[in-house]
Structure 1
């Protein structure tokens, strides 16, 4: 389905009409069941949250082969890539949540002024309620379960919307995952854009969406009807600056692995390289060497190279091969949905390959004369989800870091920051809003409720704030409000 058609269908959320939607809400009963469960308080106790996280852990352990086979079926993902990027990372998130949940849930004491020194003031982390997680197809397990871990840990009920494009994983999520979670607190909705459109007409307490910026704008518009808070994890064109002062082969190995991992269908993959023409001439043979080393002389026969998700994306990518000049690769096979690891040179900024996120195994190289020119090129475009800089000179890497903005940054490597659960992941500007991973996912799905508990006694203390007012009382109250004690005090 063309992106324009997908967007058109989702735009009907805003217009309030969907073809085939008669006004009967097919999701009303499901959402009522989840809301009743949430309102009953079932999801709030730590014991319940722990039991659901443990169920999620068992789902991964007991179905590991099924999940790996399904990822191979949908995307021809090599076992190595599927295991480390989908299953292992999810397991790490679950383990972290289980080990820290009770600490995360604790009320957070806050500093008080003198007026409130005898009171109890704190922040309570509360679940939002019934939440919606919409996941994409490129990492259909990771990008569904990692947000789910945080939603469960925070005590929410959840509606899961896996991508219909990764058909095998959609079926596993719908048929197998529910066996491990409480049926009244979690639900899965299947289908494509039309079903998603109808689903988004309903009121949710939080929406977590991963996908393209264009569809993200539409989802955000749908959320605005109910003033629903939202996290958008979007994409964009991630720059990769390669300095003259570098080891070409080392850079080529790292860039090639991250660019061609999952056949380039990764939102944080380096989308284009900026370097001088001199560095390009050194980088090209190094990139060719890396591709041959990784995938052999005939990459199409390699068991370690994934395939494009479907015909529509294949033909879109094949069209981009006409941009600039093919320096490496360029072969394709529609029967296998195969696009060779490809490097393009002589690419212009105005070429189509530079106007959209590539999301495939194609790497354009554009020439710049200096790091300053590279920074200027990056800054005049939308803020990317990730940005990379390679140089033996740490001052160069830090200069790129200091003078640009992006969701995440990698110096002398690719997206290994995705493996660090103690670091937030998310976009900025056009590449998204909000953050998650580790405790940040718990925080994303938790509302921070400010609370003050006062004693019903000691009314004499409050007299200074009551009318009739006087300058003396005003000065005294202002002094109490502006000053704090150096030690905690509470009568509750």
Structure 2
């Protein structure tokens, strides 16, 4: 889409918003139900599209893409009416008599830029929240998942009027053109480097925004952990979607006393997960550039398991790497693929030194049966969200706000947090007219009286 087309679209959307801002909650619920029906009707198409993009297994599409989307729609259908009601708050004494309320109102025109790793769910989930709150939305899906982008465009065009929600496809230049426009809110999911660019670009308009990014998520395995369970849950969370998950464990920190034993359990778990040798239940890397980047990161590393690759299909086997140097390219930034560095630690001080080497992570995981150890980990490190004795499962609880901190993200969403993200608070004081206390009006003859009144607050 050319710059002129984008500006024409936004102009028409501007005009539409003047009336759409008055869309009732009941009308929004009807739209959400229509969206849910369309997604259901296209379930098979969505599964096929994501598979065509990078061979993501059907089970992973159902669980990590469709299930999450359905949960978000159902929650908004059930809760949006109650969430949208004005909330009364106690009045200030100086405004007596009055009634005070907080209204949640839509921002207006929202731009959603979605990533390729969960190309359906990470695109449609913020759209659900934005539309439910009364906003208009332009969705820019990832050009690296073109089949999923096509089905997203088909669903959005079926459900919404063009001025209410629109999919704009394109690559980097299209994203740049979109970011040059003036938005009321921008919601971006993607890498840390691109997130910085997005933030800088929209700063000239002082646009409020959410950045869902990533980072080097540590996973700690204490000597007291249930090692059999830990091995399964870590391998599942890490190698789901071929490791292309922003909250996947990025590296393991294993108590030195159990490192050798736990490495063997990781290896035996991976052999059990993918016993057929064909990796039919295992996604591929999204494109050739990502394949070249990840296989390049393995050069010169001490691979203790895996490492096989196939450039024709962008396949990289789940791979364990022993203690790569922290200055290596493998540890410079988020791996975002099926490579898991494994380290030993001997003390909590060593844990702190290692984890604090990197920016604040999006997620942190700890496997332990010791309450004092778990508490110390939680209190010692700053991260977006975490799990004790599992990985990545905090993402699926819509009662938990999801987001990062520092370089791993800004803002959060999911469930009620999405409602709070896609609305802004408008404060209204309604004064009564049956009493009008004259003390605030000139001439100020009541200074001494007010000084006595202020003593209540001094």
User: What is the aligned partner in structure 1 of residue 439 from structure 2?
Assistant: 463
TM-score with structure 2 setting the length: 0.96
Residue 354 in 1 paired to residue 322 in 2? no
Residue 454 in 1 paired to residue 431 in 2? yes
In the TM superposition, residue 398 of structure 1 has moved relative to its aligned partner by 1.7
User: What is the aligned partner in structure 1 of residue 408 from structure 2?
Assistant: 431
User: What is the aligned partner in structure 2 of residue 414 from structure 1?
Assistant: 391
**Aligned to 2:105, what secondary structure does the other structure show?**
strand
Equivalent-residue separation in structure 1 for 2:330 and 2:341 (angstroms): 8
User: Which structure 2 segments of 5+ residues have no match?
Assistant: none
Deviations 1:50-75 (A, max 9, x none): 12211221122111111011111112
Equivalent-residue separation in structure 2 for 1:464 and 1:349 (angstroms): 65
User: What is the aligned partner in structure 1 of residue 303 from structure 2?
Assistant: 326
Q: How does 1:196-215 map to 2 (within 5 A)?
A: 196-215=175-194
**Residue pair 1:263, 1:360 contacting (<8 A) in 2 also:** yes
| Inter-CA distance 434–462: structure 2 relative to 1 (3 Å threshold) | farther
Pick aligned residue for 1:52 from 31, 50, 65:
31
**Residue pair 2:96, 2:431 contacting (<8 A) in 1 also:** no
Deviations 1:242-266 (A, max 9, x none): 1122232221111000000000000
**Residue pair 1:465, 1:473 contacting (<8 A) in 2 also:** no
User: What is the aligned partner in structure 1 of residue 450 from structure 2?
Assistant: 474
Residue 195 in 1 paired to residue 171 in 2? no
In the TM superposition, residue 113 of structure 1 has moved relative to its aligned partner by 2.5
In the TM superposition, residue 323 of structure 1 has moved relative to its aligned partner by 4.6
**Aligned to 1:278, what secondary structure does the other structure show?**
coil
Equivalent-residue separation in structure 2 for 1:159 and 1:62 (angstroms): 23
Using the TM superposition, name which of 365-374 and 60-69 deviates more: 365-374
Residue 251 in 1 paired to residue 243 in 2? no
Equivalent-residue separation in structure 2 for 1:327 and 1:278 (angstroms): 18
How many residue pairs get matched? Answer: 458
The root-mean-square deviation of aligned C-alpha atoms, in Å, is 1.8
User: What is the aligned partner in structure 1 of residue 136 from structure 2?
Assistant: 157
Equivalent-residue separation in structure 2 for 1:465 and 1:402 (angstroms): 52
Deviations 1:432-486 (A, max 9, x none): 1101000100110101011111124422x14345322433332365368x59xxx
**Aligned to 1:388, what secondary structure does the other structure show?**
strand
Equivalent-residue separation in structure 1 for 2:447 and 2:107 (angstroms): 44
**Residue pair 2:39, 2:155 contacting (<8 A) in 1 also:** no
**Residue pair 2:97, 2:435 contacting (<8 A) in 1 also:** no
Equivalent-residue separation in structure 1 for 2:377 and 2:243 (angstroms): 24
Equivalent-residue separation in structure 1 for 2:161 and 2:300 (angstroms): 51
User: What is the aligned partner in structure 2 of residue 364 from structure 1?
Assistant: 341
Pick aligned residue for 2:291 from 314, 336, 339:
314
Deviations 1:286-315 (A, max 9, x none): 0111111111152xx122100000000001
User: What is the aligned partner in structure 1 of residue 257 from structure 2?
Assistant: 278
Pick aligned residue for 2:214 from 215, 221, 235:
235
**Residue pair 2:189, 2:211 contacting (<8 A) in 1 also:** yes
Equivalent-residue separation in structure 2 for 1:113 and 1:40 (angstroms): 34
Residue 116 in 1 paired to residue 105 in 2? no
Equivalent-residue separation in structure 1 for 2:166 and 2:424 (angstroms): 22
Residue 176 in 1 paired to residue 155 in 2? yes
Equivalent-residue separation in structure 1 for 2:22 and 2:325 (angstroms): 54
Equivalent-residue separation in structure 2 for 1:109 and 1:42 (angstroms): 22
**Residue pair 1:323, 1:351 contacting (<8 A) in 2 also:** no
User: Which structure 1 segments of 5+ residues have no match?
Assistant: 1-19, 484-492
**Residue pair 1:43, 1:49 contacting (<8 A) in 2 also:** no
